[in-house]
Structure 1
């Protein structure tokens, strides 16, 4: 089944390249053009172009309705139309639609992609190399952006939002338990906090922490490393034998079944628990999560915030002096089949520097971004800013060093997915830890070799 799926993907992307090759010579010039109707002293009129911005991110999440008009004010000859690839913001369904669009006559100009969906599409030529545009602009990439986006030695995208991880905590529950807001803590401290914060029994039980069934939670302690901090090492090989993966799975099982300070794994699966509901409904005191939850900590229309949320860095490893957080950017690229590449690049560069901050919802991958100012913008744009503890958030952002990571391998998602069934067997007591680690390593290595 997997081979069939990849065959379809490769076929569609091959067709996309054919379309690109045939249409690449028709690029419009967005520089001002002479207009014979103008008087001799008038400036030449700029040609009007319309670009499509193809993304999975909804307006509610990314605030395109605020951002795009500001760009159009600064670039009156360029109109940008939002092309939402999926109404629900489903990134998987959106990437499937993108591949079909690339193989058709659909207009593609600006493309935004999630973290692990970039490399394989850059690798087969879906995007325009940006090196010449950057050289023409006269800046050094490494001075402007926090992560490297090179694929095969070329830059095919600029990083837009930059996702970091931390722990969010219910302030009233901390106060009730007499616990301070963590500022310098380890994973052992995290476990102790979870035990102390656990309260009650039965359906109304409050767990100290909620650990969701995403693969990210299986690698939480790996994420606290300065490098080689995912299931794959930076060189693209299996990282399953890192002792921290074993330690993290053991921590999860201990919290779920010995300390009973986190929801049992079978309950998460069978009851289809949602992390937002568990945290905002007061059923979990702590939640490791990404920074998209900053704005949501002020509540949403679906789930209002009824308590103050405080923030703490992702716990550090034993013996480590620094708190680290993985950085997972989204990528914004110029489609190689675009007929208005120069104009598309102008938007990409503008958005990934000053433009993203206008939306006030996510953190930036631009090295010159003012983090404190952006925190204030994000908090003030939330539904109820009083429910977000700004002091702890600013501390967490300043004291979480970004872990280094190369551009994810094109098979990163596939490698992540093979971990799930093996980790689940261990957590539900159907396989011991050593067999689990060996099986994960074997399956990831098979994915690497097959790619």
Structure 2
């Protein structure tokens, strides 16, 4: 009996050892497969200007659900001069950035010319992707090549504090000239308990590319010819006169330089009741909807941009922007392209709540607007005014075709205007300096 028991124990121990070995082999195999799958998974790093919680992370998450073999890491950079320098420095240093966003044409051109952007045309052609069908006119190109897809349709207009207009007895305009705008914002400027309330607020990056030159001259407004700048066109003088009137004489607008140095944002000044109007794009709806962080007791009304009286044209904002681009140094070109295409098309629906109007024609713009204005739209916004302004089919659009020295010309105009609005130089010197410097760049 004891002999049988010992034999049984011996067999049992052998069985346990065998099971352990088999189990160990199975576990090792599973770990190896998991490791191989991990190695097969591609990772791309995306740099963008919008806080991830305001839509980009949703886009990334839905993309990863549809592409389980691709991991996406989103890195936010601030869309100001300092933030763009940070992005450019990271691109040049070789840090992993596979995909990134560019908001303005001067940065777009600069990055292409510096070899930091991949032409997407071969990938688009291989994929059968029709740019015209997807977005219509106005997709940014450089020397006939496409370096990115637009992820939203930008639209600048005037945001109005309805309560302040009512208290001042001013009717909210459905159309107005810059002279009328200047006069109204002057009337709205006042002191309240020792605090100055400005009639209007503008940031350079929002209006410096539009007021006067863009609105009247339209495309390629910096160029008289391929070798001569256009800074002696009367429209530049008219623009300086308007700035002088609003910022220096009437004091109805905070100085550009003061606002920039103080790092003030239009939505912050507007929602805190420090300005009666501001000029900006739809993205500030996300701050208006954030009643917890930006409590306010007034309804916001949309008014169209003022027009330049007597001008043959009054162009609106160019439109397509938020261009998503590929770093040519990426080791994951196919994965990067898949993400660019997704964000540039169906992924845009997750950005509406961030105040981004889709550029892709596959999304109903009215549905997007309803999503953008949010659940409390009737309480916070004059909804009809937003529909009328954003869907105004009468707005003419312009699309630049010349890019030679564009970043330099943008910088020259900005620097000379800053010297003017700070009182460092007079109007005549400002225009003469801009013209001389612009011509030197182009020649």
Could you say which TM-score interval applies, normalised by the shorter chain?
Answer: 0.7 to 0.9
Match of 1:386 in 2: 379
Task: Identify if the C-alpha distance between structure 1 residues 430 and 95 changes in structure 2 by more than 3 Å, giving closer, same or farther.
Answer: closer
Conserved 8 A contact 1:218-1:423:
no
Conserved 8 A contact 1:67-1:355:
yes
Conserved 8 A contact 2:57-2:74:
no
Q: Does 1:446 align with 2:440?
A: yes
2:219 to 225, 228, 237: 228
Conserved 8 A contact 1:174-1:181:
yes
The aligned runs of 1:260-279 (5 Å cut-off) are 260-263=251-254, 268=259, 274-279=265-270
Conserved 8 A contact 2:148-2:323:
yes
Unaligned runs of 5+ in 1: 1-44
Separation in 2, partners of 1:80, 1:415? 36
Unaligned runs of 5+ in 2: 1-36
Match of 1:306 in 2: 297
Task: Identify if the C-alpha distance between structure 1 residues 408 and 107 changes in structure 2 by more than 3 Å, giving closer, same or farther.
Answer: farther
Shift of 1:365: 2.7
Match of 1:133 in 2: 123
1:111 to 72, 88, 100: 100
Q: Does 1:404 align with 2:398?
A: yes
CA RMSD in angstroms comes to 3.5
Task: Identify if the C-alpha distance between structure 1 residues 357 and 235 changes in structure 2 by more than 3 Å, giving closer, same or farther.
Answer: farther
2:61 to 69, 73, 79: 69
Match of 1:338 in 2: 330
Q: Secondary structure at the match of 1:155?
A: coil
Separation in 1, partners of 2:58, 2:220? 35
2:173 to 176, 179, 182: 182
Deviation string, structure 1 residues 156-210 (Cα, Å, up to 9, x no partner): 2111233321111101112223333322222122122213323347832323222
Separation in 1, partners of 2:258, 2:117? 43
2:364 to 367, 370, 373: 370
Match of 1:434 in 2: 428
Q: Secondary structure at the match of 2:335?
A: helix
Separation in 2, partners of 1:236, 1:61? 46
Using structure 2 for the length normalisation, give the TM-score: 0.78
The aligned runs of 1:9-408 (5 Å cut-off) are 48-60=40-52, 62-84=54-76, 86=77, 92-104=82-94, 106-115=95-104, 116-145=106-135, 146-200=137-191, 203-212=194-203, 216-217=207-208, 220-225=211-216, 227-228=218-219, 231=222, 238-263=229-254, 268=259, 274-299=265-290, 302-319=293-310, 320=312, 324-327=316-319, 329-360=321-352, 361=354, 362-380=356-374, 386-399=379-392, 401=395, 403-406=397-400
Match of 2:15 in 1: none
If each structure's helix is expressed as a fraction of its own residues, which one has the higher value? 2
Separation in 2, partners of 1:219, 1:179? 26
Conserved 8 A contact 2:52-2:74:
no
Separation in 1, partners of 2:290, 2:190? 24
Shift of 1:131: 1.5
Q: Secondary structure at the match of 1:241?
A: coil
Conserved 8 A contact 2:48-2:74:
no
Conserved 8 A contact 2:226-2:442:
no
Instruction: Number of aligned residue pairs: give it.
Output: 402
* Largest Rg, 1 or 2: 2
